[in-house]
Structure 1
């Protein structure tokens, strides 16, 4: 009986003791979210480039001789037709005199041949001499005429060579380094040119596009043919070596006909006006191409997660529950993705802290400050 009473007493005491408090669920994690905006974005891609004058001419002698005069200094601007160098003309003037003397002798021989024909013609008619002698005289006259033509050609050649002793600028432009000085012996077979002359009233800027960039270039610009696309291209900018932008825009006017097998790239040319002569052949810089992307969303890369070659974002749905959904990347721009599929305008996505999120997890959305759509540069 005592045992039963003890058991009953313990049961009453246990029933009267306070019950443990129930464990409360943790509060949803507060994470920043942003609303998706579908808009148009402009991106810029830069490519290393080299600058060349519209015309680059090697100045070489066309006759051999000693440089008597150098008329232009290095770096000077010269006009088309302006003398640059003078080669000693004495040997060529004597060659011209000799050619003229040969011409005069040939002219005298022709006169004698004509006289012989005139003398023999009536004699043959009167049968005083044989017709064979007249034919021989006429043949001699034709030979004399040929000698005159040959002598005239020699005079012309000598005059041309004499003219070559004055080397003139074939175009207007800037003189490069003078590799030969006054007194130097020069020849058309020299390995090095006398100098280089650059016409830089406008310049050609060359850069290369890789295969993928070239495919994107063709796909994203209007036009049925490549030439049509070039005509409709927006102006391009030139970024100089000090990172400043050249003040005058240029335009793409040539794309090479084939890819370089070594580099896997194709050469593109843009032409820039250069009225003030700021740009010179040999300058380097970068060509900046603009590209317009329509109907894209700009999403920070930090708001995405990559799994099995796919990129996902966490979208906020009903009851503030998140769902992982794939997106389609149209391009990359700095630290942002340009997205043209997988998200809708007005949809909210989680901006950060997504590493530990799971489908269906509830969050406490914290609206991030809205930013203006960026104009971005790669």
Structure 2
């Protein structure tokens, strides 16, 4: 009997030692941040590829033919209105102007001569020395001389205008585009390419297009009875640049094309952005981002999710602080957050970060974070 009692004590001690070893081998519960989900308002963005152009893009073309004698600017230079850009050889046109000036002097002399003849004949007619018809003939010659003088003055003006075309100045302030001709080139009115393009960029236009489906959905979400009212009610839009940064000035949609393009099935819009610092140039590309406010939407930070076979999951906090993986359905994105359509509900708690080593049924020590602070921090990070 004593032998069996000793044997039982030994078994009990062995069992206790095994249980103690298992407890020592079990890893401690991870301390992970969790967040309780709440529905609220959210701003989503629709993005459309855009092409940026200055509000004024002027083709600089020669109005007279000749050799390009002087180029005063370089590609990309900023010029002010009236500043010289190019000079065409003006010798030929100067001769035309001088010749026209000589014609004016000749015509003026003929007027003075005709006037003297009229003045000489008037007293003779008054005293019945000569017939009145001679005076009338003299007056007709005077009128003819005066008309010739007016024509000569007009010819001089035209010659001076043509001479003035040899100096090409900036019609607006803006940036000079690529200069298509070199000094010494023979140029004229018939050139296919302009000398350059001058872009005024104090404000810029961002041109973008919508498909028919996007257009109908877009305008259904904007208040207003007419298209004009809806355009006025479109909120300020953003411009995402090629480096994924957001341009600091917001823009305003101010025009919609009157009809759809049959070939592309899209309709064109234009948004205007202030560009006082001249950061934006004609020809660059970007994306116009249009905001839409939505109510009662459930958002989940993207970093609180993981993907498995093209499906998106979160770890929800269950009873006894055990985590449970749940598949969620995504309705959209907003500033680093997913808008959840189904799969998880408002009021549930999910693991915010540290998902890499979690498995279904794992026990954690939750560290509760405020939902609004988390969502704001994610939005600011994006």
The answer, yes or no, to whether TM exceeds 0.5 is yes
Contact 2:209 2:267 in 1 (8 A): yes
* Residues 121-140 of structure 1 deviation map (CA, whole Å, 9 limit, x = unaligned): 22223333222222221111
2:146 counterpart of 1:164: no
Structure-1 residue corresponding to 2:78: 77
In structure 2, stretches of 5+ residues that fail to align are 1-35, 301-329, 349-367
Contact 2:85 2:169 in 1 (8 A): yes
* Residues 292-329 of structure 1 deviation map (CA, whole Å, 9 limit, x = unaligned): 22356679xxxxxxxxxxxxxxxxxxxxxxxxxxxxxx
Q: 2 CA distance for matches of 1:130 and 1:332?
A: 105
Structure-1 residue corresponding to 2:327: none
2:184 counterpart of 1:183: yes
Q: 2 CA distance for matches of 1:119 and 1:332?
A: 101
Structure-2 residue corresponding to 1:117: 118
Structure-2 residue corresponding to 1:196: 197
Structure-2 residue corresponding to 1:135: 136
Q: 1 CA distance for matches of 2:52 and 2:184?
A: 34
Q: 2 CA distance for matches of 1:178 and 1:134?
A: 63
Report the number of matched residues. Answer: 292
* Residues 47-93 of structure 1 deviation map (CA, whole Å, 9 limit, x = unaligned): 11101112111111111111111110111111111111111111111
Contact 2:38 2:371 in 1 (8 A): no
Contact 1:298 1:338 in 2 (8 A): no
Structure-1 residue corresponding to 2:4: none
| 337 and 146 in structure 1: CA distance in 2 versus 1, 3 angstrom threshold | farther
Query: What value does the CA root-mean-square deviation take over the aligned residues?
Result: 3.3
SS of the equivalent of 1:49 reads: strand
SS of the equivalent of 1:45 reads: strand
2:243 counterpart of 1:242: yes
Q: 1 CA distance for matches of 2:128 and 2:265?
A: 87
| Cα deviation, residue 36, structure 1 | 10
| 74 and 101 in structure 1: CA distance in 2 versus 1, 3 angstrom threshold | same
Structure-1 residue corresponding to 2:282: 281
Structure-1 residue corresponding to 2:98: 97
| 68 and 36 in structure 1: CA distance in 2 versus 1, 3 angstrom threshold | closer
Structure-1 residue corresponding to 2:211: 210
Instruction: Please report the TM-score for the alignment, with normalisation by the length of structure 1.
Output: 0.69
* Residues 195-246 of structure 1 deviation map (CA, whole Å, 9 limit, x = unaligned): 1111112211000012222222222122333333333322211112222222
Structure-2 residue corresponding to 1:333: 332
SS of the equivalent of 1:221 reads: coil
Instruction: Please report the TM-score for the alignment, with normalisation by the length of structure 2.
Output: 0.68
Structure-1 residue corresponding to 2:231: 230
Q: 2 CA distance for matches of 1:36 and 1:177?
A: 55
* Residues 6-64 of structure 1 deviation map (CA, whole Å, 9 limit, x = unaligned): xxxxxxxxxxxxxxxxxxxxxxxxxxxxx997643321111111011121111111111
Q: 2 CA distance for matches of 1:74 and 1:54?
A: 19
Q: 2 CA distance for matches of 1:100 and 1:370?
A: 89
